[in-house]
Amino acid sequence: ISGSVVMGDFVMIGGGTGVRDHVSIGNNVKIAAAAAVHSNIPDGETWGGYPAMPIDRFYRQMRTLQRIVRGDVVMRGPGSTKEGPDGE
């Protein structure tokens, strides 16, 4: 935690978390372990991830990545067709 960080009351920060300079953390905030806080966090929120973000958004991104790895989601770039990698 950098020296210029301003923290509110009743803040819980998990182990291995980093907080950069000039960040303000509100009251009653929870930050998950191994998070990297780069921006201000409002009162009463729970954040996690690298970079840190609201925990619901972090979990949504993790679920999407799991679906991509399992092959449940076909990623398409510009100019691609609706077919999957096997022409399906």
pTM, to two decimals: 0.78
**CATH classification at residue 62:** 2.160.10.10
Structural domains of the chain, count:
1
Could you tell me if residue 12 is inside a domain? Answer: yes
How large is the average pLDDT for residues 44-60?
97
- In percent, how much of the chain has pLDDT > 70? 88
CA distances from 1 to 10, 20, 31, 32 (A): 16, 7, 12, 14
Residue 59, domain extent: 6-70
* 66 in a structural domain: yes
Each residue's pLDDT tens digit, 16-51: 999 999 999 999 999 999 999 999 999 999 999 999
